[in-house]
Amino acid sequence: MEHGGDLTLAIERFGGARVDWLDLSTGINPYHYPLPAEFSAVTWTALPGRVASEQLIAAARQAYSVPEHLGLIAAPGTQILLSLLPSLLPEGPVAIASPTYSSHKKVWTRDGRAPVELSSIYALPADAQIVLLVNPNNPDGQLIDVKSLKEIARTLSERGGFLVVDEAFADVVPGASLLPHIQDENIVVLRSFGKFFGLAGLRLGFLAGAQEITSKMAALLESWCLSGPALEVGTTALRDIAWQEAMTRQLVDEMADLTLTLSRHGLSVFGGTPLYALAGLRNASGLHEALARRQIWTRIFDYAPTWVRFGLPGGAENLERLSEALAEAMQEL
């Protein structure tokens, strides 16, 4: 399972229809931002205009506290942004804080960089030009403080290198973002819209960094890379601070309930964010399959056979379903 969120394999192996499954394999908010009852015809029929794009960028700049001296662009998801980064950043060795989201290593490997995987971000290779980390990290939720990130960035800047920070889950960890603190360091930050707002299918993401970098990225993306609905919904959601604050509190509460449930069934929760919990179990793959036979899909990792990750079930009824399935599965194991 390369990424979570695709139930095709689960259905092929264990049966059922999509509606039957409780998908806990992602870190996507199960409570999506409320969509408009209907979109205007113009949203669907007209090419996205400059004003709508500018409104989205202004809303994102405010929501993410992006300093005015930094450039900020939007794209159809952060996946395309991270895949284009190797063509924009300097040549030279790449180091990635690992284990983490697997696509980062793949795109730099595809570029011929042979990235080094770092078990500790504090031990930078002396020749590293590009250092990449996910903060808070996926899947363990490890968080590197802003002061340390800026020190790393200054070291790289002195070499003519860059620090790339993927803040896909920073929305749910107040104070985690590096964006408000960036001055003249060589830093590029990725922000994902779909995870926190629960609208991954909308495909919307952002990149912030020096104007030179964002201008080059915008040129690669070319015109009309975002759909009308993405512009409209993205702008509205990013402006809705009240919804964001209330949702952050709700997710924290529900993650506490999920953590307690997992612990009661013998799982050791040792990492995560308010959108996912990472637990340890000797036979994680056995638990994964036992839950799948009950049409509950979790996330396991080939590089860590004792790890299993659970996204938020989304409500008391789904949490109870998971609890009952865990009781049966653990008895089987």
Predicted confidence at residue 222, as pLDDT, reads 87
Predicted confidence at residue 4, as pLDDT, reads 67
Predicted confidence at residue 6, as pLDDT, reads 78
Token couple for 308: 């299993």
Predicted confidence at residue 254, as pLDDT, reads 98
Q: Please tell me whether the overall predicted TM-score, pTM, comes out greater than 0.85 for this model.
A: yes
- Following DSSP, what letter does each residue of 238-285 receive, concatenated? HH-HHHHHHHHHHHHHHHHHHHHHHHHTT-EEEEEETTEEEEE-TTHH
Predicted confidence at residue 5, as pLDDT, reads 66
Mean pLDDT by 10 residues, the chain (333 residues): 75 94 97 94 92 97 98 97 96 96 95 94 93 97 97 96 98 97 98 98 97 96 94 98 98 98 97 98 97 97 95 98 98 93
For residue 318, what are the contacts with CB-CB under 8 A and spacing of at least 6?
22, 30
| Residue 97 bridge partners (DSSP) | 118
